[in-house]
Structure 1
Amino acid sequence: MSTIQESSSSEQDDFLDLLSIDTFSEPTTPTQEASDSPTTAELNPETPILSVQLSAPPTTPLNTPFAVTIKITYTGHLLNPDGTTTPATRPITFRSWPVLAWHQTDPSREGFRLYRHRPNNGSSDDAWELCEVDDGSICCFAIYDDPDKEVPVAKGNHLTTDFTSLHPGETWTTTETLQGETWSLLPDDAVPGDRFRFYFKGAYVDWWDWGDLEEHKRAGTTVLLPCWGGARTIMRETDKKMPTLVVPGAEEGVEFVVLDKNSAEGSAGEG
């Protein structure tokens, strides 16, 4: 479920203070070094500045619904060529998929990451392993040879065809579910005591424009997608050329620990 709400001026000012920060903290693992993420240094002039914050409960039992809350804020500022900012007055609309998809065009630099640390694995405290995650977008069956499809810029009924509008100062709040009662994105061998860190590395938005959804609906704005949907938009000669909208990685990830279900129920009962 997604919601839009107005953010406070103090939250916007806090993000502007981060423009001197090159990246957020992601652990180096023994199997894969952390690659560069999209940073505030890559923001293109005359594009709106967005910020991302993650939050989640600190613990979860296995086989229990668990989700990370993601807040994407349009800070209400534009980046100038000299690195300063200018207050923004116009709303923006962007395709949601590049921000929320796990499997990106440039997976070393975009999307989400899930790491695990096991306290009894004999390694040092800072040793984290990268978890392979399949959110269902890597499917066993898909049609790839149908014609490309034209999709209206509107609120869609699927992530691949959904668009979000934000006015200056507004925040889009959505969730990324990592676990349900009968399924989980955590590793199959996860056990109580495992500690996880979940990060958002950033994203390059494949389609965005000025104006809200109503404006684009009246204008009949469309994008061209491959037939399977879960991919970047296809640029047409008639499409407006916009500078790439960069969503920097979240400054901080979230950390949570898997609990024994009986222990978790006991703690809840005591509360």
Structure 2
Amino acid sequence: MASPQELSSAEEDNLLDLPSPEIFSETPTHQSNSPLTIADLNPGTPLLSVQLSAPQTTPLKTKFAITLKITYTGLLLNPDKTTTPTTRPITFRPWTLIAWHQTEPQREGFWLYRHRPINNNNNHDNPWEFTEMDDGTICTFAIYDDPDKEVPVSKGNHFTNSFISLRPGETWTWEKTLQQEYWSLLPDDAVPADRFRFCFKGAYVDWWDWGDLEEHKQAGTTVLLPCFEAARSIERETDKKMPALVVPGAEEGVEFVIVDGST
């Protein structure tokens, strides 16, 4: 089994050696969509924890990414919400954790908020505002009328058909890029001094099971996906019935500030 470091999908960004950004006292809200918590987890499921990290500043039109770390704690949730240690590995499909757009249910996925200074004054009374993450420039193409496809539970060749195995204490790392030189998920009117807070509300994993990838390879385990793959898996009558795996949201989002990149 690979070490946790080898499970990373990308090297972490070098975090800037800057003082911690000021965390405003108010918590941004949008339609009262509170993050998923341990109270939403189902008995008999493993407990996964989430951590976000990012550089504290970024100019516009440069690569900027948020690092998402999913750690398998090695704890099993009991009916009374207590936990019991377990040594069993798990395998899951990470697509719902990293999909670009998740609106149903609205407590899932990534959320972005913005705080704008008033008259060049970083006024705490100016509210955080929810902002859509949509660059509007990247064209995608998908075929929706082809038959559904059976996908083997393996590493796959794309994040839509890949599966991850973790043992207790191991971490899977993924980067969500918010902007590059020629495109950005930040608002078109973003300017220096804008402060953003990026949050992960949690997610319902669409497929998981006990065991590692090698065990599922030997067993010939497959998952049914729509032909275009970028969607939740399709449940079959022959599938093993597993309790829904809920990944709670990160306790805190990460904040970053847009800076002037001309200097």
Displacement of 1:134 in angstroms is 2.6
Return the alpha-carbon distance in structure 1 between the equivalents of residues 135 and 247 of structure 2: 21
Displacement of 1:140 in angstroms is 5.6
Residue type of the partner of 1:46? G
Displacement of 1:255 in angstroms is 0.3
Instruction: Name the residue aligned to 1:161.
Output: 161
Residue type of the partner of 2:198? F
Matched, 1:220 2:220: yes
Deviations 1:196-224 (A, max 9, x none): 00000000001000011111111111100
Contact 2:113 2:197 in 1 (8 A): yes
Instruction: Name the residue aligned to 1:252.
Output: 252
Contact 1:103 1:137 in 2 (8 A): no
Q: What secondary structure is seen at the aligned counterpart in 2 of 1:114?
A: strand
Instruction: Name the residue aligned to 1:86.
Output: 84
Instruction: Name the residue aligned to 1:197.
Output: 197
Match for residue 31 of structure 2 among 30, 33, 44: 33
Return the alpha-carbon distance in structure 2 between the equivalents of residues 177 and 34 of structure 1: 26
How is 1:115-134 mapped onto 2 (pairs within 5 angstroms)?
115-120=113-118, 125-134=125-134
Residue type of the partner of 1:87? P
Q: What 5-or-longer segments of structure 1 have no aligned partner?
A: 7-24, 264-271
Q: Measured at CA, do residues 128 and 145 of structure 1 come closer, stay the same or move farther in structure 2, by a change above 3 Å? A: same
Return the alpha-carbon distance in structure 1 between the equivalents of residues 209 and 140 of structure 2: 34
Contact 1:27 1:34 in 2 (8 A): no
Displacement of 1:100 in angstroms is 0.7
Displacement of 1:144 in angstroms is 1.1
Return the alpha-carbon distance in structure 2 between the equivalents of residues 157 and 26 of structure 1: 39
Displacement of 1:120 in angstroms is 2.5
Matched, 1:44 2:42: yes
Residue type of the partner of 1:117? H
Displacement of 1:89 in angstroms is 0.8
Return the alpha-carbon distance in structure 2 between the equivalents of residues 137 and 26 of structure 1: 31
How is 1:231-250 mapped onto 2 (pairs within 5 angstroms)?
231-250=231-250
Displacement of 1:227 in angstroms is 1.1
% same residue:
73
Match for residue 60 of structure 2 among 59, 62, 73: 62
* Backbone CA RMSD of aligned residues: 2.2
Q: What secondary structure is seen at the aligned counterpart in 2 of 1:177?
A: strand
Return the alpha-carbon distance in structure 2 between the equivalents of residues 125 and 161 of structure 1: 45
Q: TM-score, normalised by structure 2?
A: 0.85
Displacement of 1:103 in angstroms is 1.7
Residue type of the partner of 2:166? L
Instruction: Name the residue aligned to 2:147.
Output: 147
**Worse-superposed segment, 119-128 or 234-243:** 119-128
Q: What 5-or-longer segments of structure 2 have no aligned partner?
A: 7-25
Return the alpha-carbon distance in structure 2 between the equivalents of residues 140 and 69 of structure 1: 24
